[in-house]
């Protein structure tokens, strides 16, 4: 093994193998910007698998980064409580016309004005080419070069913290992308013992797996320490296989806990999991993996099928209002029942687990990107249903997540896109996407993910939030988030303080109350086009109307059919079609 320095002065330096099997060399006063390769075999240049920067892409030389040279200005940043976050998922390349970290910074005031206090970046680990969702990353420690590299990411995080905004980052530890994946050149990082949808699994529990585990666990601490990231969202953790006594995720949990004490601020780990298992968010002492929270796909599925008439075609096990009620009250909808999509029983109950352990959404990158035309919810349903979707997420007892542009009903698509140089790989990707879409019974073929125009079409149109229903929807989101962030009842994510009632087949009533039951807010949802009446079991008296989606201020053109409908306590509350009302109530006769 040799070290091949190519800049600023070319050198070929032999490395020494140590007792653990690693090759090492010590150099003094290495300048920032020095570029180099390793040579596992004579004459074969391979980038550093732990490279912190790949300025010339995945096949080019690695570059030395001195992390101490950046002048951080967030010494007073202590993080934010997880249960108070309003997350905003964004893709760096399509969020702005420029597609860089620094181009996001001028938009932070816009996000803060909405009430967003945490951004979640889709993966930024170096991937091949210049456009990709990020889940084909191949250098876990390197920051994508055309996004702005290490310096650009640090500037963004620094700016966010100065404005009171936390930064979370997607990471992928279940596979590496196919192009530029040199990790196998250095050791047994992959195993044929398990298989994932992307090929051989990463070797977390086989022979020589100690170094593999540390390589990925160290990556977690890398983002927290060098980039001041506040939390990580781990992609598809169910495709990480480890049958050891201390599974990989438990191992990471203990590492993060120690680092959290050293840094003196909270560090969050969020899971994407297909298991519907409470073990994911239970502490290791209780037999869990120790994640702070996980994405709650079941709530999205239950909500989406009620909003879009074609929804059940793709989510065949959903479609009943009682399932949305269960998602609010318990979390997992599938908690051990037979699931047709899987042809088996699936899941376990999450009843009793606090709402702060789940992240909910009405859309995200996967949901739009895995449709043939990259349709966002705003391209599938009308304005009133967008209002409903926003309220259903933001008024619920969970940590909400918005997908970039949803707050103004963006009508730019979000396709899957990639940029590979190998022609065989390009053709394989095209064929693979077609097969995926056939499996989900889509009527159309996906566009060519490698077409640069497909990527360009995904860039947000920042003129949209300034006019028409886009502007009104944005104001609706602001009002919902303000209500969530200023009213203590919406900050209380104890699901035991929530009562859910399904009424008139299409209505759902959510009663939020404090621990003593003295303060109460009633959220009423009508998912049908026709008016429905809600008559509470208890004799509630409306004290104050906090929000009403049917009021004229939320609509461009108001007709008599759209006007707010009211009724006495005895007759109940009449809701217009596809509407939401939020009322502060008390029991009749109680002051």
Q: Is 298 annotated as a binding residue?
A: yes
User: What radius of gyration, in Å, describes the C-alpha atoms of the chain?
Assistant: 25
Establish whether domains 2-69 and 498-587 are of one fold. Answer: yes
Residue with tokens 């009424």: 503
What pLDDT does 199 receive? 87
Q: Is 35 annotated as a binding residue?
A: no
Top-tier CATH class for 2-69:
mainly beta
- Cβ–Cβ contacts within 10 Å for residue 511, how many? 20
Q: Alpha helix locations (H) across 440-557? A: 452-456, 468-486, 488-491
> What does the DSSP assignment read for 287-304?
TS---SEEE-HHHHHHHH
Closest CA to 297 of 241, 341, 253: 341
Sign of CA dihedral 577, 580, 586, 587: positive
Residue with tokens 């497909």: 454
C-alpha angle 397-401-407 in degrees, rounded to nearest 5? 115
412/406 Cα distance (integer angstroms)? 10
For 379, which DSSP code? G
Task: Assign domain 498-587 to its CATH architecture.
Answer: Sandwich (2.60)
Structural domain boundaries of the chain? 2-69, 498-587
Q: In a structure prediction context, what are the per-residue pLDDT tens digits for the chain, which is 591 residues long?
A: 999 999 999 999 999 999 888 999 999 999 999 999 999 999 999 999 999 999 999 999 999 999 999 999 999 999 999 999 999 999 999 999 999 999 999 999 999 999 999 999 999 999 999 999 999 999 999 999 999 999 999 999 999 999 999 999 999 999 999 999 999 999 999 999 999 988 899 999 999 999 999 999 999 999 999 999 999 999 999 999 999 999 999 999 999 999 999 999 999 999 999 999 999 999 999 999 999 999 999 999 999 999 998 888 889 999 999 999 999 999 999 999 999 999 999 999 999 999 999 999 999 999 999 888 999 999 999 999 999 999 999 999 999 999 999 999 999 999 999 998 888 888 887 777 777 666 566 667 778 888 999 999 999 999 999 999 999 999 999 999 999 999 999 999 999 899 999 999 999 999 999 887 788 999 999 999 999 999 987 777 888 999 999 999 999 876 555 445 444 445 688 999 999 999 999 886 665
Q: Would you call 154 exposed, middle or buried from its count of C-beta atoms within 10 A (0-12, 13-18, 19+)? A: buried
Q: Is 370 annotated as a binding residue?
A: yes
CB distance 576 to 533 below 8 Å: no
63/37 Cα distance (integer angstroms)? 9
Residue with tokens 């420690």: 141
Q: What is the pTM of this model?
A: 0.95
By annotation, the residues acting in catalysis are 235, 272
Q: Is 451 annotated as a binding residue?
A: no
Q: Is 235 annotated as a binding residue?
A: yes
Residue 142 phi, psi dihedral angles, 5° rounding: -95, 145
Q: Would you call 271 exposed, middle or buried from its count of C-beta atoms within 10 A (0-12, 13-18, 19+)? A: buried
Q: Is 366 annotated as a binding residue?
A: yes
Q: Is 276 annotated as a binding residue?
A: no
Q: Alpha helix locations (H) across 264-361? A: 297-307, 311-314, 321-329
Q: How many residues does the chain have?
A: 591
What pLDDT does 566 receive? 47
User: Pairing mode, if any, of strands 125-126 and 118-121?
Assistant: unpaired
Q: Alpha helix locations (H) across 332-413? A: 365-369, 383-394
What pLDDT does 386 receive? 98
What pLDDT does 589 receive? 61
Using CA atoms, how far residue 540 sits from 82, 150, 357, 505, in Å, is 33, 56, 31, 21
What pLDDT does 569 receive? 43
Q: Is 369 annotated as a binding residue?
A: yes
What pLDDT does 575 receive? 94
258/443 Cα distance (integer angstroms)? 50
Using CA atoms, how far residue 376 sits from 308, 314, 385, 406, 464, in Å, is 12, 15, 13, 8, 15
434/436 Cα distance (integer angstroms)? 5
- Cβ–Cβ contacts within 10 Å for residue 477, how many? 24
Q: Alpha helix locations (H) across 106-247? A: 108-114, 149-162, 209-226
Q: Is 299 annotated as a binding residue?
A: yes
For 432, which DSSP code? H
């Amino acid at each position: 093994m040799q070290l091949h320095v190519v800049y600023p002065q070319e050198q070929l330096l032999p490395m020494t193998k140590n007792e653990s099997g690693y090759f090492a060399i010590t150099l003094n006063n290495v300048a920032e910007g020095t570029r180099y390769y390793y040579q596992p075999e004579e004459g074969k240049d391979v980038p550093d698998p732990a490279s912190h920067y790949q300025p010339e892409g995945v096949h080019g030389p690695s570059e030395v980064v001195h992390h101490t040279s950046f002048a951080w200005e967030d010494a007073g940043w202590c993080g934010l409580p997880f249960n108070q976050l309003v997350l905003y998922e964004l893709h760096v390349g399509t969020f702005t016309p420029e597609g860089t970290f620094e181009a996001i910074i001028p938009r932070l005031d816009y996000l803060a004005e909405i009430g967003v206090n945490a951004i979640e970046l889709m993966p930024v680990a170096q991937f091949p080419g210049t456009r990709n969702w990020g889940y084909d990353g191949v250098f876990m420690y390197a920051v994508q070069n055309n996004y702005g590299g290490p310096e650009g990411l640090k500037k963004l995080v620094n700016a966010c913290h100065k404005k009171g905004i936390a930064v979370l980052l997607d990471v992928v530890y279940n596979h590496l992308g196919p192009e530029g994946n040199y990790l196998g050149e250095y050791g047994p990082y992959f195993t044929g013992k398990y298989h994932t949808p992307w090929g051989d699994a990463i070797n977390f529990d086989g022979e020589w797996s100690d170094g593999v585990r540390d390589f990925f666990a160290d990556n977690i601490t890398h983002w927290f320490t060098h980039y001041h990231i506040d939390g990580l969202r781990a992609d598809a953790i169910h495709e990480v296989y480890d049958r050891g006594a201390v599974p990989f995720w438990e191992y990471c949990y203990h590492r993060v806990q120690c680092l959290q004490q050293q840094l003196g601020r909270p560090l969050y780990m969020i899971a994407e999991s297909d298991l519907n298992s409470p073990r994911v968010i239970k502490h290791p002492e209780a037999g869990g993996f120790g994640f702070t929270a996980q994405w709650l796909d079941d709530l999205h599925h239950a909500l989406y099928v009620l909003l879009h008439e074609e929804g059940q075609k793709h989510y065949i096990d959903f479609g009943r209002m009682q399932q949305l009620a269960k998602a609010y009250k318990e979390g997992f909808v599938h908690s051990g029942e037979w699931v047709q999509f899987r042809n088996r029983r699936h899941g376990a109950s999450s009843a009793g687990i606090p709402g702060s352990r789940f992240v909910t959404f009405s859309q995200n990158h996967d949901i739009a990107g895995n449709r043939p035309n990259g349709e966002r919810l705003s391209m599938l349903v009308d304005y009133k249903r967008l209002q409903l979707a926003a309220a259903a997420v933001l008024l619920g007892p969970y940590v909400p997540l918005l997908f970039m542009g949803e707050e103004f009903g963006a009508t730019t698509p979000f396709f899957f896109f990639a940029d590979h140089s190998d022609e065989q790989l390009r053709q394989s990707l095209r064929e693979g996407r077609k097969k995926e879409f056939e499996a989900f019974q889509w009527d159309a073929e996906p566009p060519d993910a490698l077409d640069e125009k497909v990527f360009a079409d995904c860039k947000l149109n920042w003129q949209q939030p300034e006019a028409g229903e886009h502007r009104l929807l944005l104001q609706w989101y602001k009002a919902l988030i303000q209500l969530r962030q200023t009213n203590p009842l919406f900050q209380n994510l104890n699901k035991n303080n929530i009562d859910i009632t399904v009424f008139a087949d299409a209505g759902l009533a959510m009663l939020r109350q404090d621990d003593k039951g003295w303060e109460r807010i009633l959220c009423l949802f009508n998912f049908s086009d026709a008016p429905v009446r809600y008559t509470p079991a208890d004799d509630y008296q409306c004290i104050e109307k906090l929000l009403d989606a049917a009021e004229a201020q939320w609509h461009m053109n108001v007709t008599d059919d759209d006007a707010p409908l009211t009724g006495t306590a005895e007759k109940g509350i009449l809701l217009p079609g596809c509407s939401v009302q939020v009322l502060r109530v008390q029991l009749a006769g109680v002051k």
